[in-house]
Amino acid sequence: MTNILNEIGIENYIFLSVILFCIGVFGVLYRRNAIIVFMSIEIMLNAVNLLFVAFSTYHQDAQGQVFVFFSMAVAAAEVAVGLAILVSIFRNLGSIDINNLKNLKG
Amino acid sequence: MNTLIAIIGLGVLCLLFEIFDARKAIIPIAVIGLLAILGLDISEYNAAPAFYYNNMIVVGKYSTTFSALFIILTIFLVSLGHKFYENRPTKLSDFIAIKIFLLAGAVAMVSFGNLAMFFLGIEVLSIALYVLASSNRTSIKSNEAGLKYFLMGSFASGIILFGICLIYGAMGTFDITEISELSRSAELPIWFPIGIVLLFIGMLFKIAAVPFHFWAPDVYEGSPSLTTALMSTLAKVVAIATLYKLVKTMNADISPSFQLVIVIVSIASMTVGNIMALRQINVKRMLAFSGISHAGFMLMTLLSTAKSSGTLLYYTSAYALAGIAAFSVILYVCKTRENEDITNFHGLGKNNPLMAAVLTASLLSMAGIPIFGGFFAKLFLFTQTIQAGFIALVIVAVINSIISVGYYFKLILAMYTKEPNEAKIPASKVYLAVAIIAIALNIAMGLCPSFVLDLL
């Protein structure tokens, strides 16, 4: 494993993760469909997971890989709650476009 | 550690009570259990700092005192649920259990010794809050608040996770004492400061400080009132206590540029919060902006981390107890109303003088008028900040305290000078009891401030 990391270099893993993370951030900021926003959040979290595994190999230390399991479990729980909220919004409004949610203002 | 296990056990017990058809016993058992856990927590106060599970959890004075505050707040919030959820008896055990699990996340957040535990704690707390925010599922406002809170919360979690990842990349460990030792060495990769900044931004989202505050008013307004009470007291106090611990333990030497950022964020939060609160007509929205400005005040403690933990404890307790008292009156007044507009409070001083007096007292405490805890909280905070050498910041903070009196008195005047527009609502014993106990604790804190201040 170290050989591969030596050939590619840790920096490239960081760049890849940062690019994926930014794609996720811009997805959250600019897309109006709630499902796609959820997917963008998942991209953000998975970019971090990728970087955790890369750093774990870089440091020859298993803690980072264990952390990935925690963060995957947490992300799954989070999305379950998010989808439940989305279902109740769809029942009330009949759409999942975020632009329709403008009742709270002031 | 025992506190955390006992809290989780109590949460499971609440769910079991529903299965065995003992719905009436849930709230009494939860309150008694939480009181017992409070005793357990206090018994660990004088012991030497203990480390559990390879430093995953560190139990010391800081974690036990703040856990005690969280447990007291949860006792109040659980007892308020007795009246608030009376129309939805079948869901009672879920609501109480979620609140107790939320408390478990809160305790894990202040007693973490490892960033993994910190992340799990913050997620347990946040996920429980997403559920509570959208728990009124037939109301479109509650749905909207839940979705907004969910999107902003998981966005912030992603940023925090990225920060943790970069810190891990720079240090090769998640343990905060090791990180603190390594951060003193000269050669650090650039990832470490970037990671700290991302972690800080994520936590500012959670405590709703400017410029990451925009979600708070909408979410506070749309959520069910009891959840708003929880968010503006417990969740805010937990987030600021955790941020304080992170800043204190992870970078022992705070650089001047970081201090400048804290000063700017603090001034911006106070000013924006107070000025926006002046023009609100919805009381929950007004208290949301008031919470943003209080977050700015609490951030001032980060400027002198060496000795300000007692002040932070005092400020957070005074703010949270006043918040609980204010919200129990709001719950009582707006129980049968459509919204929480200020017109609903007209004539409360005539209809129900006791409730009006409690609300007045809690608002005066938030504004910082003497004998109430809030005044001494601000006094100690300002003294400490002047000693740390930030006189300009204190001047802005004093001006902001004066501005804040404006909108607190708007509500007080509405209660006493306007004529009531509706018949008297029958008083509720639970709301009244919680309101009076919370404000009595607040006044007691104001009468002997050294008791709380010397705990840390």
Question: What's the pLDDT tens digit per position in B198-254?
Answer: 999 999 999 999 899 989 999 999 999 999 999 999 999 999 999 999 988 876 567
Q: If we measure between CA atoms, which residue out of B61, B65, B57, B3 comes closest to residue B34?
A: B3
Q: Mean pLDDT for chain B?
A: 91
Contacts of B147 in chain A (CB under 8 A): 34, 82, 85-86, 89, 98, 101
C-alpha dihedral, B205 to B224 to B433 to B352, nearest 10°: 110
What size, in residues, is chain A? 106
Q: Choose among A58, A64, A85: nearest Cβ to B143.
A: A85
Q: What residues of chain B, 172 to 211, have a C-beta less than 8 Å from chain A?
A: 172-174, 191
What is the domain count for chain A? 1
Q: Where does B172-255 have alpha helices with state H?
A: 176-182, 191-207, 215-222, 225-230, 236-250
Same-domain pairing of B142 and B286 = no
What is the domain count for chain B? 2
Query: Above 70 in pLDDT, residue B171?
Result: yes
Residue type, B380: F
B382 versus B49: which is more confidently predicted? Answer: B382
Among candidate residues B183, B218, B253, the one where a domain is terminated: B253
Please report whether residue A101 resides in a domain. no
Question: Can you give the pTM of this predicted structure?
Answer: 0.94
| Residue B363: domain span | 255-456
Same-domain pairing of B155 and B191 = yes
Distance of CA B293 to the CA centre of its chain: 13
Q: Please tell me the predicted confidence (pLDDT) of residue B112.
A: 92
Same-domain pairing of B265 and B246 = no
What is the crossing angle of helices B309-333 and B61-84, to 10°?
0
Q: Which range among A53-67, B96-110, B188-202, B332-346 shows the weakest confidence by mean pLDDT?
A: B332-346
Query: Above 60 in pLDDT, residue B388?
Result: yes
Same-domain pairing of B226 and B310 = no
Walking along chain A (106 residues) 10 residues at a time, the average pLDDT comes out as 74 93 94 92 94 92 92 94 93 86 72
Instruction: Tell me if residue B134 falls in helix, strand or coil.
Output: coil
Distance of CA B396 to the CA centre of its chain: 23
Both tokens of B109, joined, read 């957040």
CB of B45 closer than 8 Å to CB of B61: yes
pLDDT digits (tens, 9 = 90+) for B440-452: 999 999 998 888 8
Please report whether residue A40 resides in a domain. yes
Classify residue B24 by burial, with Cβ atoms within 10 Å: 0-12, 13-18, 19+.
exposed
Among candidate residues B189, B223, B253, the one where a domain is terminated: B253
Same-domain pairing of B293 and B411 = yes
Cα(B82)–Cα(B80) distance, integer angstroms: 5
CATH of the domain at A19: 1.10.287.3510
B155 with A28: Cβ contact below 8 A: yes
Please report whether residue A105 resides in a domain. no
Please report whether residue A13 resides in a domain. yes
The residue of chain B nearest to residue A60, with distances taken between CA atoms, is B172
CA dist list (Å): B35 to A49, B9, B282? 40, 14, 34
Both tokens of B329, joined, read 């009156």
Residue entry with tokens 């005092």: B314
Same-domain pairing of B369 and B226 = no
Cα(B321)–Cα(B324) distance, integer angstroms: 5
Residue type, B61: K
Q: If we measure between CA atoms, which residue out of A39, A10, A99 comes closest to residue B166?
A: A10
Please report whether residue A104 resides in a domain. no
Residue entry with tokens 């470490």: B192
- What percent of chain B is predicted at pLDDT more than 70? 99
| Residue A74: domain span | 2-95
A104 with B222: Cβ contact below 8 A: yes
Query: Which whole number is the average pLDDT over B304-310?
Result: 85
Same-domain pairing of B39 and B88 = yes
Determine how many CB atoms are found less than 10 A away from the CB of residue B225.
22
Instruction: Tell me if residue B211 falls in helix, strand or coil.
Output: coil
Among candidate residues B197, B222, B253, the one where a domain is terminated: B253
Same-domain pairing of B171 and B182 = yes
A55 with B119: Cβ contact below 8 A: no
Interface ipTM: 0.94
Q: Please tell me the predicted confidence (pLDDT) of residue A1.
A: 55
Please report whether residue A22 resides in a domain. yes
CB of B340 closer than 8 Å to CB of B382: no
Query: Above 80 in pLDDT, residue B341?
Result: yes
Q: CB neighbours of B139 closer than 8 A, spacing ≥ 6?
A: none
Cα(B23)–Cα(B15) distance, integer angstroms: 10
Same-domain pairing of B223 and B277 = no
The two beta strands, B57-59 and B50-52, are: antiparallel
Query: Above 90 in pLDDT, residue B180?
Result: no
CB of B206 closer than 8 Å to CB of B156: yes
Same-domain pairing of B78 and B139 = yes
Distance of CA B224 to the CA centre of its chain: 17
B454 versus B77: which is more confidently predicted? Answer: B77
Which DSSP state fits B428? -
Instruction: For an interface test with B, give the residue of A69, A101, A102, A105 to mutate (most B CBs within 10 A).
Output: A101
Cα(A20)–Cα(A34) distance, integer angstroms: 19
Please report whether residue A103 resides in a domain. no
Query: Which whole number is the average pLDDT over B151-170?
Result: 93
Both tokens of B27, joined, read 């709230």
Instruction: Tell me if residue B275 falls in helix, strand or coil.
Output: helix
pLDDT band at residue B154 under the 50/70/90 scheme:
very high
Query: Which whole number is the average pLDDT over B307-322?
Result: 93
- Chain A interface includes B138 (CB < 8 A): yes
Same-domain pairing of B248 and B264 = no
Same-domain pairing of B362 and B243 = no
